[in-house]
Every structure is written in C-alpha cells, then in structure tokens.
C-alpha cells in the first residue's frame, strides 16, 4: 500500500512498515495542496492524506481523486458533520452544487467531527465525537438540499449503524462521570433537548415520563402564580428543582 501525505507542516515522521509512506510538506516539498494533489495522482497512491482542504480547487481535486478509486482523508474546520457537507458544497460555484452533491453522495465514506471537552478531574481534555456513516439514507439527504438539514436527526436515529451526534457523545461522557454538566451544556448542539435528556425525557417522544415532567412544571407555575396573588413581591419559578419566592 502506498500512502501519500500532504501536510502543512509535517508534525510526525512516519516509518515504513507494511506500507510505503511518502510525506510532502507544503512550502518545502511542494508549493501548495492543489499542486501536491495533482502530482500525487501520478505516483500510484492507494491512500492520500490532505492535511486541510482550504479552497475550492483543493476540494474538487480531492473529490476527483476519490472518484478514481483512491482513499482520500482530509480535514475541515466546521461545527459538525452536516456543516462539513454544507461547507464543501458552499465552497463551489453555484452551477456546480448539484454535481458536487452527487459526487459526495457517491464517494463519501463518512465524517468524524471532534470537540475537545475539559475533563471533570481537570487533567486535560477528552474528545466528544460526531460520527456520520454514508449509507443509503444519508446519500439521499446529501443529494437533495431540502433534506440535508435532516442529517443530524438521521445520525441520532442510527446508533446501531455506528453513528452518533455530538449531544449523544456528550451525554455518554457525562454519564460516565468524565465531564461536568456545565461542560456538556457549554458544548452541546441543542441545549434545550440536552436539558430534557438530562431529566430523562427523550425530545419528540411523548410518554408517561414526559407527561409527568410537564405536569410537574405546570403545577409549579400554578403554585407560583397563586402565591403571587397573595404577595406582590417578585416570584422566581425554578422548573428544575423547586419553587423559590423572593
């Protein structure tokens, strides 16, 4: 297996073992990612690592390399898996959007997004990971721009296929007592849904548990309003623990 890396800069020097690894550094061995990709394809690579896709031309060449049967790995600065797809498509000319969507649907294997979260014990950070696997359902959502916004929900519903959202990853880290609730809320994608999950309620699913929580909230509001009728002082309603009056 021939692996070619294009990096800016080269941070680790890899030794050949069962593969041949060729490392290229931007500015030293090559003028840029695009030029390096062009010449890398002439060196019969099996795997190409592009340190970062910074512009439209580099993205187009990386997709083209994947279409010709190469395994292409790269990085982008985005919020999550859905935004990674939107970023690639949005970086292209408008006339190419449909073409790029079909190319991505056909060639993309998956997306792994990472957020580094401060550990509860204060010793460094731990990654929360969002994982997208490009299956038949995801392919359709990539091709159709009106469905792309539903990718996050599709990921959430596909844990059995190896996928997970950031919020699911954060919840798992919190339940394992590796991070604090404050850190989880700081880095989650949907703070309202995450707070519901912390209370044992699954957003979008109406069951006995969610009904009990809703009734409890209503009771606390009613009690607070009743008390306010007796006292003109300001009433603060705490919907998470108990009513407070001041």
pLDDT at 237: 46
Q: In the chain, what percentage of residues exceed pLDDT 90?
A: 78
Q: Does 57 fall in a domain?
A: no
The answer to whether residue 97 scores a pLDDT higher than 90 is yes
- Band (pLDDT 50/70/90 cuts) for residue 224 is low
Q: Tell me which residue range forms the domain holding 238.
A: 206-246
pLDDT at 223: 63
Q: Does 45 fall in a domain?
A: no
Q: Does 219 fall in a domain?
A: yes
200: its two tokens? 């044992």
pLDDT at 199: 81
Q: In the chain, what percentage of residues exceed pLDDT 70?
A: 81
Whole-number Å distance between alpha carbons of 62 and 71: 10
Q: Does 243 fall in a domain?
A: yes
User: Higher confidence at residue 246 or residue 224?
Assistant: 224
Total number of domains constituting the chain: 1
- Band (pLDDT 50/70/90 cuts) for residue 244 is very low
Q: Does 19 fall in a domain?
A: no
Return the HEC string of the chain.
CEEEEEECCCCCCCCCCCCEEEEEEECCCECCHHHHHHHHHHHCCCEEEECCCCCHHHHHHHHHHHHCCCEEEECCCCCCHHHHHHHHHHCCCHHHHHHHHHHHHHHCCEEEEEEEEECCCCCCEEEEEEEEECCHHHHHHHHCCCCHHHHHHHHHCCHHHCCECHHHHHHHHHHCCCCCHHHHHHHCCCHHHHHHHHCCCCCCCCCHHHHHHHHHHHHHHHHHHHHHHHCCCCEECCCCCCCEEC
Q: Does 129 fall in a domain?
A: no
Q: Does 6 fall in a domain?
A: no
225: its two tokens? 């309003």
- Summarised one tens digit per residue, pLDDT across range 51-64 is 999 999 999 999 99
On whether the CB atoms of residues 144 and 104 are closer than 8 A, the answer is: no
pTM: 0.79
Average pLDDT, the chain: 87
Q: Does 11 fall in a domain?
A: no
């Amino acid at each position: 297996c021939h692996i070619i890396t294009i990096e800016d800069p080269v941070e680790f020097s890899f030794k050949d073992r069962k593969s041949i690894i060729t490392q290229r550094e931007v500015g030293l061995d090559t003028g840029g990612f695009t030029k390096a990709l062009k010449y890398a394809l002439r060196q019969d690579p099996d795997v190409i690592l592009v340190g970062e896709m910074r512009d439209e031309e580099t993205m187009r060449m990386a997709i083209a390399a994947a279409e010709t049967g190469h395994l292409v790995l790269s990085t982008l600065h985005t919020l999550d898996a859905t935004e990674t797809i939107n970023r690639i498509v949005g970086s292209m000319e408008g006339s190419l959007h449909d073409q790029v969507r079909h190319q991505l649907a056909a060639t993309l294997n998956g997306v792994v997004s990472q957020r580094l979260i401060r550990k509860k014990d204060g010793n460094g950070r731990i990654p929360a990971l969002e994982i997208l696997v490009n299956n038949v359902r995801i392919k359709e959502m990539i091709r159709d721009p009106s469905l792309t916004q539903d990718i996050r929900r599709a990921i959430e519903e596909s844990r059995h296929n190896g996928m997970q959202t950031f919020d699911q990853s954060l919840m798992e880290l919190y339940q394992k007592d590796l991070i604090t609730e404050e850190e989880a809320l700081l880095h989650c994608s949907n703070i309202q849904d995450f707070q519901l999950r912390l209370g044992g309620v699954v957003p979008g699913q109406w069951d006995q548990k969610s009904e009990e929580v809703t009734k409890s909230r209503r009771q606390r509001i009613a009690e607070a309003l009743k008390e306010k009728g007796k006292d003109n002082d300001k009433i603060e309603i705490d919907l998470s623990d108990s009513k407070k009056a001041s």
